[in-house]
Amino acid sequence: MTTATSRLTAEDLEFLGRPLHGFLSVAGGTQPPQPRPVWFEATAEGTIQFFTEPGSLKVRRLHRDPRASIVVAAPVGERERWVSVVGRTTMAADGAHDLCSRLAARYWDLDDQARAHDLAMMLAADPLRVVIHPETVHRYGH
User: What does the pLDDT look like over 82-112, one tens digit per residue?
Assistant: 999 999 999 999 999 999 999 999 999 999 9
pLDDT in tens, 116-133: 999 999 999 999 999 999
At 68 the pLDDT is 96
pLDDT in tens, 23-77: 999 987 677 778 999 999 999 999 999 999 999 999 999 999 999 999 999 999 9
At 1 the pLDDT is 65
At 128 the pLDDT is 97
Q: Report CA 124 to chain centroid distance, whole Å.
A: 20
* Torsional class of 140: left (φ above 0), alpha (ψ -120 to 50), beta (otherwise): beta
Reference 88, options 6, 5, 18, 33; nearest CA is: 6
Cα–Cα–Cα angle for 75, 104, 56, rounded to 5 degrees:
90
* List of residues 6+ apart from 58 with CB closer than 8 A: 24, 26, 36, 52, 68, 130
Task: Using pLDDT thresholds of 50, 70 and 90, give the confidence band for residue 81.
Answer: very high
* Torsional class of 29: left (φ above 0), alpha (ψ -120 to 50), beta (otherwise): left
Q: Which CATH class is domain 2-141?
A: mainly beta
